[in-house]
Chain A
Amino acid sequence: MTTTIDATTAPEDAAAPLPAAPTPPAKKRKLKWPGFGIVFAVGFLGSLTFLAIFADYLSFIPYPDAKIPGPDGRPGRYEWGPGTAAWFGTDGVSGDVFSKVIYGARTSLQVGIFATVFGILVGGFLGVIAGYFRGWVDRIVMIITDCLLALPALLLAIILVDRLSDLAEDASWLGWLSRKWTIVITLGILATAPLARIVRAQTLSLREREFVLAARSLGAKPGRVMFREILPNLIPAILTVGFTGLSILIAAEGALAFLGLGVEVGTPTWGKLIDENRNKIDEAWWATIFPCLMLFLTVLSFNIIGDRLSRRFDIRQAGV
């Protein structure tokens, strides 16, 4: 006998004329307006990134160190408000605020994204191994993250930037560690702790799930269980935290710049712009408000995208 399946054990699908379509019908895939928020967020970040990358080749963006002559023909302080001469006005050194905002996006976005990636890689790794192995691994990781969380973040950042800069000066092999990368690493370390905690908590609950037990009972090694079984289930949580963290880190870079711990002199960032011009907000609001607005819209866009992505990755909602 080739098969033992008879009429009474007939597989569920064989007998029923498959009422539930296995694949969704094609017409369901028609384009749908995804909502104003997400369109705005993607559009805004897309155009900002485009402008920042190609600023050097776009004629309508002056170089950030170019001096815009005032109405009297000579450069001066805050001479133009927003208008045709300078879209976002000029700042205290006759620089074009629009140009500085665009060039500032280069540094700000880079710092934010790289610091977040650093935080996700390190924090995610620590969180997964702590949650999966428990025991002493867990205890050590928790001590590290607790210390990072217990110290005031700003104080920690100041100390870290300071120490890393000293290191870069002393050690020749750290030549690549410019001020920008120092800040990336500092902010990345700060982002590690909360990410590690969240990933650990998720891992703790996932490792008790039966599919993890099933993988172990199939003889899978710990590495395989962590990366093939647990990690895919962590992605939504990591994405949500990552995108929220990204916005916080961009703002944090501003805060560091505010304290004079910004990137190299001459490289504009949003934080530095705000810092330099905030004293004159009464007479020249544009020099402060526009960088603030950019920061705000960027943070908002990342949050909208993060929210949408995590919903997309939620199996139950995406399945409908």
Chain B
Amino acid sequence: MAGTGKAHLRDSPDVLLRIEDLVVEFPVGRTGLKVNAVSGISLDVLRGETLGLVGESGCGKSTTGRAIMQLPRPTSGSVVFEGSELTRLTGDEMREARTRMQMIFQDPISSLNPRRKVRQIVMEPLNIWKRGTDAERSQKVDSILEEVGIDPTRAAESQPHQFSGGQCQRISIARSLVLDPSLIICDEPVSALDVSVQAQVLNLLEDLKAEYGLTLIFIAHDLAVVKNISDRVAVMYLGKICEVAPSDVLYENPAHHYTSVLLNSIPVPDPEVAVTKTAIEGEPPSPVLPPPGCRFNPRCPAAQDICRTEEPQLRAVGDGHFVACHFPTVTPVELSTR
């Protein structure tokens, strides 16, 4: 299928997660129409790597994260995690597999059950899987709470609403760590936080990643945040991948016009720079009836006739740098030189 391509997938024994041709569609009421949330994307993540997924709301980045967890199961495509094909697992096998990958959500307060004590919330995964004795569970929970900077004694007697947003996000992180997962999917974990707290949480994630040898998928709409934490970034637009590149390359040498737009939209905390920037007009069209050809063509400054009819394939423009655009801002390298 056009517009997708798998040129960017790597053939390495270290691949922890490999998604191919992932499609997620939701019916729109009973109209017979469907929301094309994710339309055939392929991605892979190496062990110990942080993959950033970036795009505007409605581009399918969160849906991709959830489809990896099979919540809900994708419409089609394959998700191979630690060597097993998740889409073919039965319900019970999938529940087991989910312990190896965890999720952190955007709204720190809504993702914690308001009626339970924080320590209980963090211990819940161990209770579900009956891991260890009571004493071992307590010890594990306390040490992880300490690790994320939450006082265990206070956690034992307080409910989530007694903590600030940033602290709730730390609690979510603690909960996701107790089962020792190998992959954590962070779905906009800092978008609801103040910049000062955002920096704390990002630093914490980096530290924990190093300490526990985690692999992260980091989903956000702010490219500056994604760039800071990721090794490799995939830019998504309307259910498709536009560009995949190592994060520094993506900033220094964006190949897709949409990536440039995202980069230009980030407010720069410097009054001398900010005025000269131009923002893009309009908003993404509805994913119910996506435009034919390249999905970005109605907003693209460089769109030609071919963009309206033919969907571009991902192709290499540099080392580990791939773009799905007919007229990229960087000259494509010959496939043979790869």
Alpha-carbon distance between A229 and B160 when the two chains are bound, in angstroms: 14
Contact B150 A13 (CB under 8 A): yes
Q: Which residues of B contact A217 (CB under 8 A)?
A: 69, 71, 98, 102-103
| Number of residue pairs spanning A and B whose beta carbons lie under 8 angstroms apart | 103
Contact B107 A210 (CB under 8 A): yes
* Proximity bits, A197-231, B CB within 8 Å = 1, else 0: 00000000000011101111111110010001100
Q: Which residues of A contact B112 (CB under 8 A)?
A: 211, 214
**Closest-CB distance, A12 to chain B (whole angstroms):** 6
Q: Which residues of B contact A47 (CB under 8 A)?
A: none
Alpha-carbon distance between A218 and B177 when the two chains are bound, in angstroms: 11
**B128 within 8 Å of A by Cβ?**
yes
Within 8 A of B (CB), among A267-320: 315-316, 319
Contact B116 A5 (CB under 8 A): no
**Closest-CB distance, A83 to chain B (whole angstroms):** 53
Q: Given that A211-B111, A219-B95 are known contacts, is A22 also in contact with B210, CB under 8 Å in the complex? A: no
Alpha-carbon distance between A22 and B162 when the two chains are bound, in angstroms: 9
Alpha-carbon distance between A13 and B145 when the two chains are bound, in angstroms: 12
Chain B residue with minimal CB distance to A228? B124
Q: Which of B74-82, B151-159, B266-274, B288-296 contacts A (4 or more CB under 8 A)?
A: B151-159
Q: Which residues of A contact B262 (CB under 8 A)?
A: none
Contact B207 A9 (CB under 8 A): yes
Contact A13 B71 (CB under 8 A): no
Q: Which residues of B contact A232 (CB under 8 A)?
A: 113, 115-116
Partner of A211, one of B71, B113, B158: B113
Q: Which residues of A contact B128 (CB under 8 A)?
A: 218-220, 224
**A35 within 8 Å of B by Cβ?**
no
Partner of B149, one of A12, A210, A211: A12
Q: Which residues of A contact B256 (CB under 8 A)?
A: none
**A49 within 8 Å of B by Cβ?**
no
**B51 within 8 Å of A by Cβ?**
no
Alpha-carbon distance between A279 and B147 when the two chains are bound, in angstroms: 76
Alpha-carbon distance between A213 and B71 when the two chains are bound, in angstroms: 8
- Residues of A at under 8 Å CB distance from B? 4-5, 8-14, 22-23, 209-211, 213-221, 224, 228-229, 232-233, 235, 315-316, 319
A-B contact pairs, 20 of them (CB 8 A): A5-B147, A9-B149, A9-B200, A9-B203, A10-B149, A12-B167, A13-B151, A13-B154, A22-B153, A22-B158, A210-B110, A214-B103, A214-B172, A215-B113, A218-B99, A219-B128, A220-B128, A228-B124, A232-B115, A233-B113
What are the 7 tightest A-B residue pairs by CB atom distance, in nearest-first order? A11-B149, A210-B111, A232-B115, A219-B95, A4-B207, A210-B105, A9-B203
